Structure 1
Amino acid sequence: MLRFLAVKGLVAPELEGTVPRIRRWRHATLPACLSTDEVDRVISCAASGNTRQPLRNTAIVLLLARTGMRAAEVTKLTLNDIDWGNGVIRVRATKSRRDRELPLARDVGRALLAYLKRERPSSPHRAIFLEAAPPWRPFADSSSISKIVRRAMTRANVSSARGAAHLLRHAAATNMLRQGTSFKGIADVLGHQSLQSTAIYAKLDLPALSRIAMPWPGEQA
Structure 2
Amino acid sequence: RKTRQSYQAQLNQFVCFIKNRTISWQELFTSNSLECFKKIRGQSSVPAINGLSRYLFSQGKIPKPLARKTKPVELPKIYEDYLAYQQTYRQATVRQISNIKRVLAAFDQYLQTHKIDLCSLKIEQVDAFVAEFFAPFAAASCRIYRCMLRGFLKYLYHERNIIKRDLAPLVVGRREYAQAKPPNFLRPQEVRKLFAGLTIARASDIRTYAMVQLGYTMGLRPKEISRISLDDITFSTLLLAVTDRKGNNPVELPMPEHTVKAIAAYVIGARPESEHRRVFLTMHPPFRPMSPNGVGRHITKAMRKVGLSSTAYWLRHTYAQNLLEAGASIFEIKEMLGHDKIESTKLYLHVHIKLMRKVLFDETF
TM bucket (normalised to shorter chain) is 0.7 to 0.9
2:280 corresponding residue in structure 1: 129
TM-score, normalising length: structure 1: 0.77
Structure 2 unpaired stretches of 5+: 1-126, 128-168, 171-176, 360-365
Q: Kindly indicate whether residue 313 of structure 2 is the aligned counterpart of residue 166 of structure 1.
A: yes
* Aligned positions of 1:1-221 closer than 5 A: 28-47=180-199, 52-139=203-290, 141-160=291-310, 164-209=311-356
Q: 1:127 to 1:208 in 2, by over 3 A?
A: same
Residues 53-89 of structure 1, C-alpha deviation per residue, up to 9 Å, x if partnerless? 2111100011001100110000000000001222111
Q: Structure 1 residue 99: deviation in Å?
A: 0.5
- Secondary structure at 1:61's aligned position in 2? helix
The separation in 1 between residues aligned to 2:242 and 2:356, in whole angstroms, is 32
Residues 90-131 of structure 1, C-alpha deviation per residue, up to 9 Å, x if partnerless? 111332212011111111011011111111121111000010
Q: Structure 1 residue 27: deviation in Å?
A: 6.6
The separation in 2 between residues aligned to 1:145 and 1:46, in whole angstroms, is 15
Q: Structure 1 residue 37: deviation in Å?
A: 2.0
Amino acid at match of 1:101: E
Amino acid at match of 2:255: L
Q: 1:194 to 1:46 in 2, by over 3 A?
A: same
- Secondary structure at 2:336's aligned position in 1? helix
- Please identify runs of 4+ aligned residues in structure 1 that moved more than 4 A: 23-27, 209-212
Amino acid at match of 1:58: Y
The separation in 2 between residues aligned to 1:124 and 1:188, in whole angstroms, is 33
The separation in 1 between residues aligned to 2:356 and 2:221, in whole angstroms, is 27
Tell me, yes or no, if the aligned pair for 1:46 and 1:149 is still in contact at 8 Å: no
Tell me, yes or no, if the aligned pair for 2:240 and 2:254 is still in contact at 8 Å: yes
- Secondary structure at 1:34's aligned position in 2? coil
Tell me, yes or no, if the aligned pair for 1:46 and 1:61 is still in contact at 8 Å: no
| Greater helix share, structure number | 2
Amino acid at match of 2:197: C
User: When the two structures are aligned, how many residues end up with a matched partner?
Assistant: 186
The separation in 2 between residues aligned to 1:48 and 1:41, in whole angstroms, is 16
Larger RCO of the pair (alpha carbons < 8 Å, separation 6+): 1
Structure 1 unpaired stretches of 5+: 4-22, 213-221
- Secondary structure at 1:53's aligned position in 2? helix
RMSD: 2.4
The separation in 2 between residues aligned to 1:211 and 1:194, in whole angstroms, is 20
Q: Percent identity?
A: 29
Tell me, yes or no, if the aligned pair for 1:42 and 1:153 is still in contact at 8 Å: yes
Amino acid at match of 2:289: P
Q: Structure 1 residue 210: deviation in Å?
A: 8.0
